[in-house]
Amino acid sequence: MDVGVGSRNLVRALDLAVGAGSLLAVLGPNGSGKSLSLHTLAGLRAPHAGEVLIDGRRIAAWPRRALARELALLPQNVEDPFPAKVLETVLLGRHPHIAHWQWESAADVAIAANSLAAVGLAGYEQRDVFTLSGGERRRAALAAVLAQTPRIFLLDEPTNQLDPNHQLEALELLRARADRGAVVVVTLHDPNLAARFADQILLIGGDGRWRSGATADILTAGNLSALYDTRFLAAQFDGRSVFFQA
């Protein structure tokens, strides 16, 4: 598929398959089309050419409610226009599973509470969402995605605003979902986090060109240097590659 904005193609002829049990990390410079690609994969915008398939079915053919049970998107920025309790914001993730004109069940509340606990926010249920820090709000947004219980996770910079320990905890959660059979696609800026958690890598250059494949094959100092137009070096530490700018 082609991904672009206006008349500009940012990704040309992207041919990509992500199977159950895989975590794909998308890397690229600012403005290269990472977010646009994620939104296109989520069915929020049409590709300039080609199509997105889920289980062999065009994403546009999926009823929106059924699609919301299968696929969850964490945008790069999540805003809360109205006052709400933290638990209420996380319960939004349960709406695709609740019948029309029905309230959340005790099971839905338990799933939301467990999702908050998974991101380290147990006890925050009755806090006003406006009292959370940026990092806490990001973790609450991730909890809402977890509460949606999808098969496919699309997450745009899920580690944004998180301190180092919470970055690792968030990606460990997503890695665990993939290990249990989910499809996980994340955009990241840190190649070392990608090297640690991803099975597959997609590099997007913003000039239409892209490269994808197994992490060990694609995530190299040479490819990163070309991608970001700055020199990267790699070293081996604790059995894995560690990248740093020279």
The tens digit of pLDDT for each residue in 201-236 reads 999 998 899 999 999 999 999 999 999 999 999 998
pLDDT at residue number 206: 86
Mean pLDDT of 11-31: 95
Measuring CA to CA, which residue among 54, 124, 56 is closest to residue 89? Answer: 124
pLDDT above 90 covers a percentage of the chain that reads 84
Mean pLDDT of 194-200: 96
Write the CA distances from 39 to 71, 154, 200, 202, 241, integer angstroms: 12, 9, 19, 15, 30
Mean pLDDT of 110-136: 96
- Residues paired with residue 4 on neighbouring β-strands, in sequence order: 9
- Statement: residue 58 has pLDDT above 80: yes
pLDDT band at 82 (very low <50, low <70, confident <90, very high): confident
- Statement: residue 30 has pLDDT above 90: yes
Enter the CATH code of domain 3-245.
3.40.50.300
